[in-house]
Amino acid sequence: MGPSKYARSDVGRVFSDRRTVLVVDDSAFMRRLISQILEASTEFHVVGTAKNGLDALERIHELNPEIVTLDIDMPELDGLNALGYIMSETPRAVVMLAAATTESARELALRALELGAVDFVRKPSGPISLDLEVITDRVLAALRAAAAANLAGLRMLPPAVARVESPSRTPPKAATVAVAIACSTGGPRALAAILPELPRSLEATILIVQHMPPGFTKSFAQRLASVSRIHVREAEDGEPLYHGRAYVAPGGHHVRVVGPPESPVIGFDDGPPMWGVRPAADPLFRSVAERFGPSAIGVVLTGMGRDGSAGLKAIRDAGGRAIVQDRETATIFGMPQSAAQLAGADRVAPLGAVASVITELVGAVGPGARR
């Protein structure tokens, strides 16, 4: 073996600028491949690996890594249960790297986000993905989000309680008020805290853009529906918008509000990604501003980047209202901060108050306020 690139005295300095990572996967090949991807960057240093959840908990106490990459399907103690222990005993930023190729696996990935994982990255070809390098940029982006995460905003939420209610016999009303919500990293947890608190009688339609790949948004909408009073579903092209219902933009499609003012509907837009994502919030927000004007409410929640900022300004310029999540409860304050700087806000609210603020503002601009 040739001489080291760095003198021994330089090693600590070289790695001191990198965020420390523990890689957890039951496959030795995947542990090695993930480690190689991270070490090849100038941002992360792998301080150790673990072969299952029990091993991970020991290594976390021993090595105290800043970030953990965690597989879901592992023997002895799986990733989901290991995550629960991590977030309750030694909270830190966790990124799930999982196959998530089946419906049940996608459900587990979504549950991991609710438990406090910062992000998940889908392995491209199953549990042992020989081609993981093809998503190197996605892996590094997730780790960067983890490095920027607010640990105070990652507190583990209690499981939401499923709601069983008899169907309403009142015919739905075509939307005259719209609440457009934008979120990215940390968004699934935020939405799981907000939507169950909205009243069934809310006189507004809810339109949600959560940055999420195809294949996950339908399961995500179903999870939200199971714990919410309002109806929640993945949006469909041409679907009418009604009060008391929430529509989640499907992965892979931008969503806009189209149709005549008296009967607005959802329209899909398969144009290029914006801000690197599709769906993006800005196209939706702009269409909501155009269609609903003073009866529009924009909400920008946790996430990296600036998606939603220009759209929120369009809503305010049209006479609508704006809500942004506060720094203390946002997993990543990037999107709310950018939105507040560009558009301003009528209310800056902690996560626990967002639902009540939405309800309050809907009451201020909705049909009841005009009677």
Instruction: Return the active site residues.
Output: 184, 211, 307
Structure token pair of residue 165? 């209610």
Instruction: Print the SS3 string covering the chain.
Output: CCCCCCCHHHHHHHHHCCEEEEEECCCHHHHHHHHHHHHHCCCEEEEEEECCHHHHHHHHHHHCCCEEEECCCCCCCCHHHHHHHHHHHCCCEEEEEECCCCHHHHHHHHHHHHHCCCEEEECCCCCCCCCHHHHHHHHHHHHHHHHHCCHHHHCCCCCCCCCCCCCCCCCCCECCCEEEEEECCCHHHHHHHHHHHCCCCCCCEEEEEECCCCCCHHHHHHHHHHHCCCEEEECCCCCECECCEEEECCCCCEEEEECCCCCCEEEEECCCCECCECCCHHHHHHHHHHHHHHHEEEEECCCCCCCCHHHHHHHHHCCCEEEEECCCCCCCCHHHHHHHHHHCCCEEECHHHHHHHHHHHHHHHCHHHHC
Rg (CA), the chain: 22
315: nearest Cα among 344, 337, 335: 344
Closest Cα to residue 185, out of 325, 282, 56? 325
Quick one: tokens of 206?
């809810």
Report CA 299 to chain centroid distance, whole Å: 14
